[in-house]
Amino acid sequence: MKYVLSFNLNGLPVDTLVKATDTLLDVLREKLNVVSPKRGCDNGDCGACTVLVNGEPVRACLTIGLTVAGKNVQTVEGLQQDGKLHPLQRAFHEHYAAQCGFCTPGMLIAAKALLDKNPKPTREQIVEGISGNLCRCGTYVEVVEAIQAVAAGKYKE
Amino acid sequence: MAEYVGQPVLRYDGIGHVTARTRYVDDIQLPGMLYIKVLTSPVHKGIIRHLDTSAAERMPGVAGVITAKDVPGKNAYGLIPDQPVFTPEHIRYKGERIAAVAAVDEDTAMEALEKIKLDIEEQEPVFDPFKAMEPGAPLVRPEGNVWEFNSGKTRKIRFGDVEKGFAEADVIVEGTYTTATNDHAPMEPQVSVAYIDETDRLAIYTVSQDLYFHLGMLTAIFNLPMNKIRYIGGTVGGGFGSKNDIHCDHVAGLMALKIRKPVKYRHTRREETAYTTKRGPWTFYFKDGVKKDGRIIARYVKTVHDTGGYAGMGPYVVDKNSILVAGPYAIPNVWVDGICVFTNKPPCSSMRGFGIINGTAADQLQTARVAEAIGKDPWEVHFINAWREGDLGATQFKVEAAGLIEAMKRAAELAGIELPAHLKAMSSRGR
């Protein structure tokens, strides 16, 4: 049994056929070929699949796909505007905040969720903001510095 | 070149990473691609008495089933090629591959696995490497549970005369240290995509850290010349040594060769943790002969490395560990025996340093114990014994470009530790 799922993905409407058991990560990666959310653990532990649903960061692997019907979903594919990198993308690149790069999309989304709510976070608030995202290469210091640089206005759009 | 020296250089793949345009292997989807799941051994040790995959093959949605019978070449791989892709008979660890199913999706493939009839005669396993070395222990391997190096059952390092050193010492300091099994836990689990390309070559997208090592192993498994395999790699979502061993490419390649359709085989995090190679656990026994002035004049080390059911890089890991475990010191008398033992656990192989950092951890603890025994600060013992330019290491190599003392001074500075003047005056240039 499959259901039609309609939602907004990075500002554009999409429709797709999904099973009731498909997670949002299955829908994005396997049905829509939107692969920035990564399948690191499929278990809610690593944060590599973090996306925004109506502006809130969620783990796509723990979100049943059908629950995003009619909602706005944002992924890293939607961060660039008019071909220009988002300030967080520029800052991550210039601060070497991506090593193997596998956790990076989830980190970027977690950072965006934080700055959208709190544009001037303290270092502690940044650490708290990315506390759900694991990086096995150990780029946490660079990630925090990149987010601090954006918050300090060094990467104005 | 000069324009780069002393300047930060942005990563060539950095924009790909921050825009998520970097394509990892699991991001690749091919039209008509099928998904593989693998039947693994539910027991630690045993013999396969009966294997019947016919019901799984007949199931709707299943495109193919493969077992040891479907390996056209050599059913063995590894740096020491002793591990079968699918075991034909003997099971040496829980999680060993027995059969693989390709189906329209992973759910269907998992249902098909349940239809495979498997009859295993379970045998008594052995998990403790010390028990595995005892006479009469269950045999993990027919040839015995201790790896045979070209130097015999131990990797031997012999330098000077340790017994003479112990006789001349003021104090003897002994210690036993253990380190645990580690999983590499890269963010990207093991995954492989394989298909037959438009020129009839077998194409494989791989997460390999060792493309050319693995290509060589795959040619033997597939019985194909290298020019019939397109092995496409380069993008790795973290490896830490786990991707020095093949985990998925052989299975995906064999399936693509049999069913002539694109396939993906990927581990779940649970499969990754349960079945892939590990950093093996170690036990280190140290006996040092020490002078009251702080000089270590004799060091005996016996190590036992548990490499699990197959060799993997285990013997190589013991080689590297044995060469360096006595530490970066000018000790005139050194004796090292490195032992590599098989147990009924997942194979252990490379992880970040091939056994060196485990040895360093043990050496650091032992050297701190030496300091305690003679009432000196550990910094003092490290400085006194540290290699100087031109010293001979225990494997007879001459130390060149020595910098340990300078590195330790800098480490102390960074840690906010004020070293005494006589240590600060020391240099790697001489004694």
Does pLDDT of B159 surpass 80?
yes
Q: Residue B3 has what pLDDT? A: 79
A42 and A95 assigned to the same domain: no
Sign of CA dihedral A43, A47, A50, A54: positive
Q: Is A64 part of a structural domain of the chain?
A: yes
* Residue numbers in B near A76 (CB within 8 A): 18-20
Q: Taking CB atoms and an 8 Å limit, are A98 and B11 in contact across chains?
A: yes
Q: Taking CB atoms and an 8 Å limit, are B187 and A136 in contact across chains?
A: yes
State phi, psi for A21 to the nearest 5 degrees: -90, -5
- Nearest CB partner across the interface for B18, out of A43, A89, A100: A89
| pLDDT grade for B1, boundaries at 50, 70 and 90 | low
Q: Taking CB atoms and an 8 Å limit, are A104 and B17 in contact across chains?
A: yes
Nearest to B207 by CA among B15, B28, B11, B10: B28
Our CA-based measurement puts residue A40 at a distance from the nearest CA of chain B, in whole angstroms, of 5
Q: Is B10 on the interface with A (CB under 8 A)?
A: yes
Domain end: A40, A57, A78, which one?
A: A78
Q: Look up residue B159 and give its two tokens.
A: 């330098």
Report the CATH number that the domain containing residue A120 is assigned in CATH.
1.10.150.120
- Nearest CB partner across the interface for A77, out of B20, B24, B26: B20
Query: Considering its fold, how many domains does chain A have in total?
Result: 2
Mean pLDDT of chain B: 97
Q: Is A27 helix (H, G, I), strand (E, B) or coil?
A: helix
**What are the boundaries of each domain within chain B?**
141-181+278-386
What letter does residue B389 receive in the DSSP assignment?
Answer: T
Does pLDDT of B4 surpass 90?
no
A104 and A43 assigned to the same domain: no
| pLDDT grade for A143, boundaries at 50, 70 and 90 | very high
Amino acid at residue number B56: A
Which residues constitute the domain of residue A111? Answer: 87-151
A63 and A101 assigned to the same domain: no
| Residues 179-198, chain B, touching A (beta carbon < 8 A) | 185-189
Q: Of all residues in chain A, what percent carry a pLDDT higher than 70?
A: 99
Size of interface A-B (CB pairs under 8 A): 91
Q: Distance between CA atoms of B75 and B306, rounded to whole angstroms?
A: 24
Q: Distance between CA atoms of B72 and B75, rounded to whole angstroms?
A: 8
Q: Taking CB atoms and an 8 Å limit, are A89 and B237 in contact across chains?
A: no
User: How far out from the chain centre does Cα B99 lie?
Assistant: 24
A34 and A71 assigned to the same domain: yes
Q: What average pLDDT does the segment B12-31 reach?
A: 97
Q: Residue B2 has what pLDDT? A: 73
A68 and A91 assigned to the same domain: no
A112 and A145 assigned to the same domain: yes
Kind of pairing between the strands at B117-122 and B171-179: unpaired
A96 and A143 assigned to the same domain: yes
Q: Taking CB atoms and an 8 Å limit, are B186 and A100 in contact across chains?
A: yes
Write down the residue that tokens 């147990």 correspond to: B343
Q: Taking CB atoms and an 8 Å limit, are A136 and B189 in contact across chains?
A: no
Rg (chain A; Cα; Å): 15
Does pLDDT of A131 surpass 80?
yes
Q: Is A135 part of a structural domain of the chain?
A: yes
A99 and A62 assigned to the same domain: no
Q: Distance between CA atoms of B334 and B54, rounded to whole angstroms?
A: 60
Q: Is A122 part of a structural domain of the chain?
A: yes
* Residue numbers in A near B24 (CB within 8 A): 35, 38, 102
Tens of pLDDT, residues B183-199: 999 999 999 999 999 99
Q: Is A34 part of a structural domain of the chain?
A: yes
B210, HSE (Cβ side, Cα atoms, 13 Å) = 17
Tens of pLDDT, residues B95-125: 999 999 999 999 999 999 999 999 999 999 9
Interface test with B, best of A1, A2, A93 (most B CBs within 10 A): A93
Tens of pLDDT, residues B310-349: 998 999 999 999 999 999 999 999 999 999 999 999 999 9
Domain end: A28, A51, A78, which one?
A: A78
Q: Is B112 helix (H, G, I), strand (E, B) or coil?
A: helix
| pLDDT grade for A157, boundaries at 50, 70 and 90 | low
Q: Is A157 part of a structural domain of the chain?
A: no
- Nearest CB partner across the interface for A102, out of B15, B187, B266: B187
Residues B354 and B313 sit within 8 Å (Cβ to Cβ): yes
Domain end: A60, A78, A96, which one?
A: A78
Return the bridge partners of B176, or none.
Answer: B285
The domain B141-181+278-386 having CATH identifier 3.30.365.10: the answer here is yes
